[in-house]
Amino acid sequence: MLPGLLNQTGRVDNVFFFIVAVSVVILSIVTFTMIFFLIRFNRKRNPVAKDIEGSLPLEIIWITVPTILVMAMFYYGWAGFRIMRNPPEDAMPVKVSARMWAWTFTYENGLNSDELRVPLGKPVKLIITSEDVLHSLFIPAFRVKEDAVPGMETYLWFLPDSAGEYDLFCTEYCGVGHHSMISKVIVMPQEEYAAWFAKKETPVAGGRDALKLMEKKGCLVCHTTDGAKAVGPSFKGIFGKKETVITGGKERTVVVDKEYLRKSILSPGEDVVKGYPPVMPPQEGLLSDEEIEIIINHIKGLK
């Protein structure tokens, strides 16, 4: 735990409840006064209109009280915001990369994963960027949210103070696959985390199950396995097929083999299948050789 600091969740909730409470009190006063005036100054009771002069004490009250309340809201919001923008020095850095439509988390030792794993009770600083369009990272359980902007690094930090799994997702509409940018924050006891971190080797996503792997890596957002046309060509029956591709603006024909698939995964912009938009981000560094092998073998079998 951080000495002297209430955790982020508690701080954000306190400001939120303070604002809600003040709003409820003001709403009640306004509503009550409105109803009271309706009855008290009803035309039946007051057939002749009266000219009511202003009241200095009342005016002083309705200027000072709301000013104090609004300044208090500002103060609590600002004090919390300052802490949110200043990560503790010992915060564990994790690089986050957003792309259409998946997240990649890279740890200090080069390990990467598509779920965010963090040790319990240690502050975490996420350094966020995007490889393509604007995304936004949101972890509701820890009350943090920050935009992912291409060509720029943004950050947020939080203190994972209870073990478990929490939702993490993209909260900025980023295209047809936006819904699949949902992942998890896994808060692990420190020893368990240390053991996972020490492995250094990124385990194959989905435990060698090709479909799970392709789902985790976001492939299936744009490619189907049943022959249906989507953002990209379907995987079904593609292996061994002759395809017309656009290479450097010129059309040519290629036979889809292992080499072509590998190249299309690592640098998809080079030979784009005719009739499809050149939108796939390069997967260089995001998939291991073993994972590429598993995917290609699976595609091969989709006759």
Rg of the chain's alpha carbons, rounded to an integer?
A: 28
> Angle between the 289-301 and 258-266 helix axes, to the nearest 10 degrees?
130
Q: b or e along 231-256 (b: 16 or more beta carbons within 10 Å of the residue's beta carbon)?
A: bbbbbeebbeeebebbeeeeeeebeb
Q: How far is the CB of 147 from Cu ion (least distance, A)?
A: 10
Note whether 222 binds Cu ion by CB under 5 A. Answer: no
Residue 87 burial (CB count, 10 A)? 19
- Order across the sheet with 242-247: list the strands: 250-255, 242-247, 271-273
Note whether 99 binds Cu ion by CB under 5 A. Answer: no
Note whether 296 binds Cu ion by CB under 5 A. Answer: no
Out of 116, 144, 174, 294, the only residue in the binding site for Cu ion (CB under 5 A) is 174
Note whether 170 binds Cu ion by CB under 5 A. Answer: yes
Nearer to Cu ion, 181 or 186 (CB): 181
Note whether 102 binds Cu ion by CB under 5 A. Answer: no
Nearer to Cu ion, 170 or 221 (CB): 170
Nearer to Cu ion, 138 or 193 (CB): 138
Q: How far is the CB of 101 from Cu ion (least distance, A)?
A: 6
Note whether 96 binds Cu ion by CB under 5 A. Answer: no
Q: How far is the CB of 256 from Cu ion (least distance, A)?
A: 29
Nearer to Cu ion, 181 or 213 (CB): 181
> Angle between the 8-40 and 56-84 helix axes, to the nearest 10 degrees?
160
Nearer to Cu ion, 96 or 174 (CB): 174
DSSP assignment of 193-247 equals HHHHHHT-SPPPGGGG-HHHHHHHTTHHHH--SSS---SS--STT-TT-EEEEEE
Q: How far is the CB of 188 from Cu ion (least distance, A)?
A: 26
Task: Please tell me the count of residues contacting Cu ion according to CB under 5 A.
Answer: 4
Q: Scan residues 176-195 and list those touching Cu ion (CB under 5 A).
A: 181
Give the 3-state secondary structure of 111-155.
Answer: CEECCEEEECCCCEEEEEEECCCCEEEEEHHHCEEEEECECCCEE
Out of 135, 143, 216, 298, the only residue in the binding site for Cu ion (CB under 5 A) is 135
Note whether 137 binds Cu ion by CB under 5 A. Answer: no
Pairing of strands 124-130, 135-139: unpaired
Nearer to Cu ion, 135 or 216 (CB): 135
Note whether 223 binds Cu ion by CB under 5 A. Answer: no
Note whether 205 binds Cu ion by CB under 5 A. Answer: no
Residues in the site for Cu ion, rule: CB under 5 A?
Answer: 135, 170, 174, 181
